[in-house]
Amino acid sequence: MLLYEGGEAWRLDDWAVSAGVRGVRRVLADLDMTDPLEPVAPEPVQECRSSGWVRARHTGILRLDVALG
């Protein structure tokens, strides 16, 4: 059995789903169960040198009902 968990509960994250599918396909190819995948050019590395937290003044859930951009 091969189990992959990605993203958040009750949400489908396109990147997490495609990363999981690629990973499962690589495992199957390595086990000679499928044909090998075409090589994909690596994405550039992103490096964060610091991070921080922003705290909300009130509890709750934010729902954005407007288009971004």
- The residue ranking higher by pLDDT, 40 or 59, is 59
**Domain ranges across the chain:** 1-37
Whether the model pTM is above 0.85? no
Give the residue-averaged pLDDT of 33-52.
88
Helices (H), 1-69: 14-30
pLDDT attached to residue 31: 92
CA 27, chain centre distance (Å):
18
Give whole-number Cα distances, 4 to 23, 37, 58, 60, in Å. Answer: 9, 19, 35, 30
Q: What is the pLDDT of residues 15-37, one digit of tens each?
A: 899 999 999 999 999 999 999 88
